Amino acid sequence: MPNASVLEQKQQQVAALKEKLSAAVTGVVVDYKGTNVADDTALRKELRENGVDYFVVKNTILGRAIEGTDLAEMSSVLEGTTAIALSNDDYTAAARILSKFAESHDNFKVKTGFLDGKVVDSATIDSLAKLPTKEVLLATVCSAFQAPIAAFARAVQAIVDKGEEE
C-alpha cells in the first residue's frame, strides 16, 4: 500500500490529467517505443510550435483519468509505452504531426484518439491527419467568397471602360 503522500500525488496527477482531457478538443494516444532522443526532441518541438501538449503518461494514471467518462473505451489500448498529444483548439494538428511521424518510424504507432469527447480509432486519426490545416481551409473559403466579388468588380470596370470609349 503506497503511503499517503504518494497516493495524494497520484490523485493530483489524475485530477490534472482529467482536466486537460476535458479541455481538449482532440487527443491522440501513441505508443512511442523505440523512439530515440533526437527524434523525440524534434517531434516535441514541432508539436509545441503547433500548440499541441504532448507528454508521456503512465497507463494506470490515464486509465483512472478516463474512468467513468466517454473516453473510458480507450482503456483497451493502455498497455506498453503510452504518450498522449492534446490540442485545445486545432482539430488536426496532433493527428497530422503524429501520423506523419509514425509513417517514418516503424516502432511509433498511433493507438487511438478522441475528437470532441468521443473515442475514435487509428483509421479516423489517419483521416483527420489528411485534412488541410485550419489556415488552408480558411484561405480556401475566402477565395471562394472572393471569386464572385472579383468577377463582379471586373464586370463593373468593363462597363465603365466601355462607357468611356463612347
- Give the CA angle between residues 64, 9, 87 to the nearest 5°: 55
Burial 101-137 (b: 16+ CB within 10 A, else e): bbeebeebbbbbbbbeeebbebebbeebbeeeeeeee
What is the rounded distance in angstroms from the CA atom of residue 16 to the CA atom of residue 107? 29
What is the rounded distance in angstroms from the CA atom of residue 67 to the CA atom of residue 60? 10
Query: Would you kindly state where each structural domain of the chain is located, as residue ranges?
Result: 4-131, 132-166
- For the segment 6-36, what is each residue's pLDDT rounded down to a tens digit? 888 888 888 888 888 888 889 999 998 888 8
The CATH architecture that domain 4-131 belongs to is: 2-Layer Sandwich (3.30)
Q: CA 108 from chain center: how many Å?
A: 16
- For the segment 50-103, what is each residue's pLDDT rounded down to a tens digit? 999 999 999 998 888 888 888 888 888 888 889 999 998 888 888 899 999 988
**Residue 107, C-alpha cell as written in the block:** 516502432
Per DSSP, the three-state class of 133 is coil
- Helix H or strand E encompassing 27: strand 26-31
Residue 41's pLDDT band (cuts 50, 70, 90): very high
User: In the chain, what is the straight-line distance between the N-terminal and C-terminal CA atoms, in Å?
Assistant: 96
